[in-house]
Structures are given as C-alpha cells and as structure tokens.
Homo-oligomer: A and B are copies of this chain.
Amino acid sequence: MKYHVTLLIELKDGILDPQGRAVESILQGLQFKAQNVRVGRVLEMEVEAGSEAEASAVAHNIGKALANPVMEVFVVEAVKELV
C-alpha cells in the first residue's frame, strides 16, 4: 500500500535561526503580532508499506536519515493511506 507522509525537520531549540529572525522582523513590520518565528523544512512524499504503523516507522527512519542530529529535530507530522 502507499502512504503519504509529511515530515517536518526543524532546528533544535536554542540554535540560532537567522531566517526565523528575519521573517519575524518583517512580520512585525507588517503589524502582525508574531513571535518566536522558526523556519524549517517540510518534506512530503509517498512511501510503500504494509500498514500505517509500518509507514510511520519508515517515515521515522527517513527523518533520522535526513535530519542533522547536531542541529535539527524531526517530527512525523502525518501519515495517510493513499487510495
């Protein structure tokens, strides 16, 4: 079966996020009340797996392979079966 996976890869807390900082100052300039903006990457993909649990596990391993453990954390945001 095929699953659609959404994976977020974000900077660890405490690691400087220059992008987030720049976006935040622009948003504040535009009068948005936004704070602590952090910018990360989102990966969307399709994976083959026998079950949702298996797809989750695959997504987890992919996160591990792609995130830089020195600076980043990842979250498996969603796993959905594709029809």
Contacts and interface: CB of A to CB of B under 8 A. Distances in A.
Interface of A: 5-6, 8, 10, 20, 23-24, 26-27, 30, 32-49, 58, 61-62, 65-66, 77
B33 A48 contact: yes
28 contacts: A5-B34, A6-B8, A10-B42, A10-B44, A23-B66, A26-B65, A26-B66, A27-B45, A27-B62, A32-B47, A32-B58, A32-B61, A32-B65, A33-B58, A34-B58, A34-B62, A35-B45, A35-B46, A36-B44, A36-B45, A37-B45, A38-B43, A38-B44, A39-B41, A39-B42, A40-B41, A40-B42, A41-B42
A81 to B, nearest CB: 15
